[in-house]
Amino acid sequence: MKPRIGLMFAGQGAQFVGMGHDLAEHSPAARRVFDEADHILQRPLSELCFNGPDESLTDTANCQPAIYTVGVACWRALEEQCGRQLEPKICGGLSLGEFAALHAAGVVDFATGLRLLDRRGQLMARACRETAGAMAAVLNGAPEVIERVCRNCDVDLANLNCPGQTVISGEQQSIAKAVAALKAEGIARAIPLPVAGAFHSRLMATAAAEFEPLIARAQFAKPICSVVQNRSGQPTVDVGTIKQNLQEQIAGSVLWEQCAREMIRRSDLLIELGPGTALAGFARRIDRSFPVLSVGSLEQAKNAAAKLAENQP
């Protein structure tokens, strides 16, 4: 019996200069994705992915469409290596990665997802410039303590990534106060993050509001498989729900641990697509025995295709 495949797409923070370069050089399917992105955006996004500079690639307005493009290129390269169109059972993505997941699930074509994400990145970058935001990673803290400190310090829970890793987000002074309060509670590893602003917090409310009409007008199709969404942590095939969750996600919490648990429950194998291996790491923190593959390079695409071939009836 064919394994039920779950797809996970990388989010912001996974980017690095050179991502996708070997795919574009050796995979015609991936090369077409990069060429299409450059044509749609009318700027050399592929050059930025391959050669940087890092400062420009890290900028939210560039980073979001860049990671989306690499994630889709990885997916196309994997299918090319398999010699067939793959049929995922469930798809999900971390924050911006949700757009690539929607593409893989047949909800949006590549161009629609890219244009939406390009605008999302611009709106979030502007919100960062207009506010004094910050984020911090909290490691190995009791959830009830983290939630209480967030309430007391007036900051938001941004990402619940996996057991032992939570990210908080808010005003710079409030985050500094929260980090101090967490350490006073005995949570020594509360680490400020080098980010441009307070993503997934109330400081992104203006970006979320401006993004709403763009999502409302966008052409979405019914997904070919379940899509698990960051905002709810639950799978859905309802287009209205998908759109609402995408809009709310910008200023709301990312419930990635719940997403990953749902994907593990509904699949036999998870494949992470895009730069980095963070999502594979989160999955292993949840269930160390569950099989997870990462595809961010041509070699990894070949290895994943070989693994899938082993499980063909």
- What is the per-residue pLDDT across 29-75, written as a single tens digit (0 to 9) for each? 999 999 999 999 999 999 999 999 999 999 999 999 999 999 999 99
pLDDT digits (tens, 9 = 90+) for 153-195: 999 999 999 999 999 999 999 999 999 999 999 987 988 888 8
Mean pLDDT score, 254-281: 97
Q: What residues are paired with 166 via a beta bridge?
A: 138, 160
Phi, psi of 132 (to 5 degrees): -105, 75
Contact (Cβ atoms closer than 8 angstroms) between residue 193 and residue 176: no
Task: List the structure tokens of 102.
Answer: 């929607």
* Consecutive H or E run containing 190: strand 190-192
Q: Quickly tell me which residue has 């697509």 as its tokens.
A: 273
For the entire predicted model, the pTM comes to 0.96
Is the confidence at residue 232, as pLDDT, over 90?
A: yes
Is pLDDT larger for residue 85 or for residue 240? 240
Beta bridge partners of 24: none
- Phi then psi for 23, rounded to 5 degrees? -65, -45
Residues involved in catalysis:
95, 200
Cα–Cα dist 149/141, whole Å? 11
Tens of pLDDT, residues 278-292: 999 999 999 999 999
- Any residues with CB less than 8 A from the CB of 38 and at least 6 apart, and which? 44, 45, 46, 47
Q: What is the average per-residue pLDDT within 251-269?
A: 97
All domains of the chain in start order, with CATH: 5-129+202-308 (3.40.366.10), 132-192 (3.30.70.250)
What is the reported pLDDT for 310?
85
